[in-house]
Amino acid sequence: MSTTRSILLVEDDPNDVLLIHRAFERAKVLNPLRVLPDGDEAIRYLAGLGPYADRAVHPLPALMLLDLKLPRRGGLEVLGWVRDQPGLRRLPVVVLSSSRRTEDVSRAYDLGANSYLVKPVGFKPLLALIRSLDVYWVLFNEKADLTP
């Protein structure tokens, strides 16, 4: 079941998107990767608003990979909003950020991030990270029931 559900990537940097896509292919992750370019789009998708109203076409993801620095609405704000939604508060959210700053890491955990990963430099470490992510969050991690 879970293998068919998508993984939502909220990321605005096209190079990161390209490299993460490539890592997903190399790691043979079965879940389709859906990319949203900013915080507002992420919220519209998760709330099923506008073009995302049809849940059959745009189902809730199995996991959200969330960048922190995003146009329009930052990742931390998106995270806070998700944790406030009864139907989304158990959605696994993995922060995927450039920053190692303690403030950023602490704030993300305080707002309810399930994990905080720093985007590595170089493709090999990125591939290793995506493989671990797939194994841990998709294969081993017990899925949460999102219904409130």
- Of 28 and 100, nearer to another protein (C-beta) is 100
Give me 15's structure tokens.
Answer: 């190079």
- Of 122 and 148, nearer to another protein (C-beta) is 122
Give me 32's structure tokens.
Answer: 């389709």
CA distance 6 to 20: 14
Cβ atoms within 10 Å, residue 35: 17
Give me 20's structure tokens.
Answer: 């993460």
Q: Give the nearest distance from C-beta 23 to another protein in angstroms.
A: 9
Q: Give the nearest distance from C-beta 127 to another protein in angstroms.
A: 9
CA distance 1 to 43: 24
| Of the candidates 91, 46, 23, 96, the residue with the CA atom closest to the CA atom of residue 66 | 96
Q: Give the nearest distance from C-beta 72 to another protein in angstroms.
A: 15
- Of 22 and 143, nearer to another protein (C-beta) is 22
Give me 127's structure tokens.
Answer: 């591939």
Binding site for another protein (CB under 8 A): 13, 15-16, 18-19, 22, 68-69, 97-101, 103-104, 119-124, 126
Q: Give the nearest distance from C-beta 56 to another protein in angstroms.
A: 35
- Of 58 and 69, nearer to another protein (C-beta) is 69
